Amino acid sequence: MDDATDKIQDGTVDILQPTFNRRTKIIILGLLSILSFLVTTMYAVLAPFFPTVAHNRNVNQFEVGLIFAIYPATNFLFSFVCGLMMPHIGVVFVLSVGILIESCCSVIFGFLPHILNNAAFVGFCLITRGIQGTGFACFQTASLAITSSIFSGNIASATSVIEAFTALGFIAGPTVGGLLYQAGGFKLPFLVIGSTMLVVGFTAIFFLPTIKHTSTSAPGALMKKLLICPRVILMSCTMVLLNILFGALDLGFALHIKPFHFTPVVVGLFFLPLSISYMVFSPVLGFLSDRFGYRLFVIGGCFTIGVTSQFIGPAPYLKIPLSIAQIIPSLVITGIGTAAVFTPTYADILASATMNSGSDDDEVAVTTGDGDFTTVSVVSGVFTAFSALGQVLGPVISGIAFTSASSSFDWTISVLGFLFVAQALLIVFLTLWERKQRNHIFRKVSPDAEKTISYSSDTSEISPLLS
């Protein structure tokens, strides 16, 4: 941590250029990974028992759906606010607020069954989960900003490690929730996970140095610029598509394999291949994308998901019977495709924002120099918001689709696959257009300019992850 403070001069330090020793990097990355695991475990812990508890309280399915949906909805709305406010109030403060809100809301949620009136019970569930969603927005945007700052030369590699723990949280959440609920009732899962996150969270904050920063961009103007930038919109839509696909699988997959007459435990195991393959391959593909360029992996991942989606159903036009031997490999490969898309997409958007933040020409996505902390903050907010938007739209779109067609799940997943292929083609066209624009710039500048101008589809500087 002393190495980090060496960079502080006159009370400020460029947050994109901190120097941390290997031990500090390992500690920070490890603590943020554990926190991401706890946050996603907390999010998924309700799945095995809350619908049953709510049903016993005469809460209808629509109200249960609202209680689950309010979390990503408030996350979506508040992520933009966090991205705008973080340059003014500080990244560590935002992280602290997120951890405190998540932990306290988890503990409070555990006591809600003591409310006897059903309408009041539903109302307080909605309020608590909604506030908890704002806590996740604070945590996620701050976590991405801190990771991007400390590992500025290996953004995809570092964030992919955290994403691996995030996937592990989604895997463990239902299991941990079910076991704790069985051992100690409704309160225990929320008390254990909430208190654990509070302790680990403020331990992490203790190890994070207080980093002051200078910003050269106005957050509001930069966010407006990003939200009308074709590249940022296109890459963000990739995240929306991913989360819509996950929503469709969560909502319809169990019913889709009902003809096999599996027990609920076995049905739950079918969700593991996708999550495990994503968890395993996320660090590997994040590391490779830092070295070979983000865009290549995003395009390949979209094509992969597009193809495997035709076999999860399988698509009705293939005339292939439903079989376990076909479903499991399709889910495994879909998880690998997801790993190839998720982390490189964030890094690609950040590269675009860094380049656009220093240029007044909206038609050119190339500039020299590094971005400031405002750029990192705003991009973290935008990325988190679009991910949450997909989590909101996924169940809604899937629910409508599943009730409007005879082979609803088959066709829905198949159409989503075609959308991924279309997305990959659009990104290919975007890449070709950007190269044309870059060549146009090179013809206007001196012959040596190509050596100093960095192109946003590739990484311009790579350093060892924990050096």
Q: Are 137 and 74 in contact (CB under 8 A)?
A: yes
3-state SS string for 362-405: CCCCCCCCCCCHHHHHHHHHHHHHHHHHHHHHHHHHHHHHHCCC
∠ Cα 157 234 396 (to 5°): 95
Q: Are residues 301 and 355 in the same domain?
A: yes
In a domain, 295, yes or no: yes
Single residue among 155, 188, 214 that ends a domain in this structure: 214
In a domain, 467, yes or no: no
- CATH number of the structural domain spanning residue 95: 1.20.1250.20
pTM to 2 decimal places: 0.81
Q: Are residues 228 and 194 in the same domain?
A: no
For residue 149, name the pLDDT band (cuts at 50, 70, 90).
confident
Q: Are residues 82 and 92 in the same domain?
A: yes
Average pLDDT over residues 137-152: 88
Poorest-confidence range of 12-16, 166-170, 417-421? Answer: 12-16
What is the domain range of residue 416? Answer: 216-459
Average pLDDT over residues 427-437: 87
Cis peptide before 283 (omega within 30 of 0): no
Q: Are residues 165 and 270 in the same domain?
A: no
Q: Are residues 141 and 256 in the same domain?
A: no
Cα 254 from Cα 242, distance rounded (Å): 19
In a domain, 464, yes or no: no
Average pLDDT over residues 87-94: 87
Average pLDDT over residues 240-267: 82
Q: Are 358 and 344 in contact (CB under 8 A)?
A: no
Q: Are residues 261 and 357 in the same domain?
A: yes
Whole-number pLDDT of residue 319: 85
Q: Are residues 304 and 444 in the same domain?
A: yes
Single residue among 187, 214, 241 that ends a domain in this structure: 214
In a domain, 105, yes or no: yes
Q: Are residues 288 and 154 in the same domain?
A: no
pLDDT score of 185 more than 80: yes
Whole-number pLDDT of residue 441: 63
pLDDT in tens, 39-66: 998 888 887 788 788 888 888 878 888 8
Poorest-confidence range of 188-202, 279-293, 453-467? Answer: 453-467
In a domain, 324, yes or no: yes
pLDDT score of 260 more than 60: yes
In a domain, 378, yes or no: yes
Q: Are residues 193 and 246 in the same domain?
A: no
Whole-number pLDDT of residue 405: 56
pLDDT in tens, 194-245: 999 999 888 888 877 665 555 556 788 888 888 888 888 999 999 999 989 9
Count of domains for the chain: 2
Q: Are residues 48 and 167 in the same domain?
A: yes
In a domain, 465, yes or no: no
pLDDT in tens, 346-389: 888 888 877 654 444 433 333 333 447 788 888 999 999 999 99
In a domain, 466, yes or no: no
Single residue among 194, 214, 234 that ends a domain in this structure: 214
Q: Are 453 and 281 in contact (CB under 8 A)?
A: no
Q: Are residues 170 and 232 in the same domain?
A: no
Q: Are residues 105 and 124 in the same domain?
A: yes
